[in-house]
Structures are given as C-alpha cells and as structure tokens.
Structure 1
C-alpha cells in the first residue's frame, strides 16, 4: 500500500471549500448523525464509508477514472478545488490504487474536518455540557438548517416510494445501505423487505436512466461506488 502524502489530509481538508456546496461525504455524515442520541451511526466502518463517498464525489466531478485492472486513478489536470477532496485526488494521482487500498489511506483523517464543516454550516450544533455534573465536555445536537431532514426525505423517496434517483442521491442511498445503518432510520425509512431490496439494487449500481447525464460519468461513478461497497461490506461490524 502506498502512503498518502504526509499531513496532506489533515492540513488541507478543513481549509478549502468550506463555503462551497457540501460534498457527498458531508451529506453522508450528516445523515449518519442521529439527533436523538447525538451520536454518529456506524462508527465502526465510518472512515471507510466516508472515503467511499469522497471517491464517489471525485467520480461525479469527472476527476477519476478506472483502469482495466479495476484500480482507481485520476484524470490528468482535473484536480478538485475542494479541500476535502483534493488530498484524495493527490494521493491517487501518484499511482492508481485498488479501491480497498484507497479507502484505507483516505478514510482515517476525514471524520473530524467533515464534522467541523457541518458545525460551521449550522447543520449540527456543538453545545457545552458537563459529564457527571463536573467535567466540561461537548455534545452534538441537530442544527438549524433542516438540511438533514431534506436529505433524508430525498433518500426516503428513492428507497420507500421507488422514485428514480439523481446520481448524487443514488450514491448517497447506496453508501448509506452499505454502512449497515439503515435499520436505525426506522420508522422514517421503514425497515421492510421492499426497502432492503431497493437498497441492494442501488448498491449494485442499478440507478436508472436519469442517474447521470453523461454515460461515462455514470459508469465510472457506479463502478467506484460498487467497488467501495464491496470493500465496506466485508469489514467486521464489531
């Protein structure tokens, strides 16, 4: 396994693109946040799931390509401007990697800067509290933007109502399913046989004709997401 550039993920991730559109990985982390408990669902595989979302975002932006051997590489001179995505692109630009290798290299440094962005945007609030009434700490609460509710409604329409998804929503629902956390969204997203079947179809890249305007983008994105899901689903859930 190749090592990522020293310090690059930590140094760049929180500093660039903070005011731009949220990345797919930010949306995924926001969905995985559970307002009732103030926790993040699926912590055992979170790094890998977020890394899968970063790869999917890069593929959606035409920054990635896949090789005949199933490795992931970069499109020359197509570096992303967002600081959460750029370190992953830099890492893969040095040498194409297998998806599982890429997930392991990219994932560990993603949680904190992504959470910091969500807090900065007001999607999640960080509030002070005291542990045992004595020790200062912080707790996470749902923010004021209602963006989580909108994301959840989009995923629900696809999984429950059978709506044909746009590419971003398809990738988001597929990665959410791969994380193993969908049962925790019941009853908002009922844990039924039809939902399970629909989610597995999305994991396999069956996204429908409207999932992307460009056939090449759709193919690369589906390949990257499917490969990431295969890698994620074999991880121990602990």
Structure 2
C-alpha cells in the first residue's frame, strides 16, 4: 500500500531515522491514503472537481485506510482532506509496519535530552526491492507505473525526493517534477493525484507558515 511504502522510503536504512520533518511526512502520508481511497472507489471528487467526498463507506481490509475513511465525514477540498486525515496517521502507519515485522520501534534521545524514536528496518529485502524499483524511475532507467508514479509525486510534493535518493539534487528534482506531471495513470486517477498533490503542498506550506 502507498502509505507503508512511502514511510519505508522516508526511513534512513542506516540510522532508522526519518529523513524529513514529521509534519511533511504526515502530509505526504495523508496524500498517500487519499490516493488509495480514490483508487479503491471509496472516495471521489464531486462533479465540479473541487471537493473530495465519500461515495462508498464499505470498510476496506486495511485499518489505516478505514480509520482515515471515517474521518471524511463531509466533502472537503484536498488541502482540508489532507489536514483531516493526517491526524494520528504517523502512529497508525508506523504501527502497521511494526506489526507486519517490516520495522521495529526503538526509543532514542535528541541531544541526549529530548525523547524521540527511531525505526530500524527489519525486512531489509523488501525495503531494498522497493528502493531499487522507485530509484530506477527517479534516475530515468525506466518509466513509472501508477504506484511508483504516485510515490514519487508525493515525495516531490514535500520536496523530499533528493533526500531519499542519492544523486545531483537539481537533476533529481527536475526528474521528479517531470514524473509528477507524467502520463502514467488513467485520466481519472491522474486528475485525483494532481489535486491531492496540490493539497499536500498547500498543507505543507500552511504548516510552515504557522496557519
């Protein structure tokens, strides 16, 4: 699923620490959840294309997605949907990865004082397979499919692609921008991802400005 894969990409394989700030990560994860809900047919845009709403409340076989689905109690613009869905999302996604034995959670201290956590990767084979597949697209060795295209688009929305993959920062950003605008999904999914990407970017900007 997109949220778990996105989180796995954001975790540094050597240190177990997340490569970007928690607010940016939460916004990107919320975008991933919304893309999954659109793909599952549970959420869709209203006819005017401005707001997301639940069109099928049938529970999914995924606790993270179901918890998020329950938060969408009214039609919301993408930015508001991202801000609504991101609540508790970090812990939910981390908990799911831990329960599936993909990562473990360890306490640590920042500057020897402030409590924090690291997330060492347990399933290194799965993490490396994912990183290799996405990296090949980022570096232009092959084209994107809907899953990888969505992952790169969400990383790009929070300016994190160059923090996840090694290479020239400018070239990686340029390539990610091209992928984010690419034609790797059907029209309906493409429009949804573009709108959700804009919502993630807006939510990140609002958080940074303290709104």
Give the alignment's TM-score, normalised by structure 1: 0.73
The structure richer in helix per residue is 2
- The Cα RMSD (Å) is 3.0
Q: Deviations over 1:113-154 (max 9, x none)?
A: 211221222221345789999xxx975322134222112112
Larger Rg: 1
- The one of 192, 204, 208 aligned to 1:232: 204
1:85 is matched with which residue?
A: 65
Q: Deviations over 1:74-95 (max 9, x none)?
A: 2235543321111222232x31
1:26 aligns with 2:1: no
> Secondary structure of the equivalent of 2:44?
strand
Q: Deviations over 1:164-191 (max 9, x none)?
A: 211111110111122222332352xx13
1:156 is matched with which residue?
A: 135
Question: Does structure 2 conserve the Cα–Cα contact (< 8 Å) formed by 1:99 and 1:224?
Answer: yes
Question: Does structure 2 conserve the Cα–Cα contact (< 8 Å) formed by 1:179 and 1:233?
Answer: no
Question: Does structure 2 conserve the Cα–Cα contact (< 8 Å) formed by 1:27 and 1:151?
Answer: yes
Stretch moving more, 225-234 or 68-77:
225-234
What does 1:21-170 align with in structure 2 at a 5 Å threshold? Answer: 23-42=1-20, 43-67=22-46, 68=48, 70-92=50-72, 94-126=73-105, 139-170=118-149
Q: Which runs of 4+ in 1 moved over 6 A?
A: 128-133
CA 1:77–1:156 in structure 2 vs 1: closer, same or farther (change >3 Å)? Answer: same
1:207 is matched with which residue?
A: 182
Question: Does structure 2 conserve the Cα–Cα contact (< 8 Å) formed by 1:59 and 1:221?
Answer: no
CA 1:170–1:234 in structure 2 vs 1: closer, same or farther (change >3 Å)? Answer: farther
> Secondary structure of the equivalent of 2:104?
strand
1:223 is matched with which residue?
A: 195
Question: Does structure 1 conserve the Cα–Cα contact (< 8 Å) formed by 2:107 and 2:118?
Answer: yes
Unaligned runs of 5+ in 2: none
User: What is the distance in 2 between the residues matched to 1:153 and 1:119?
Assistant: 22
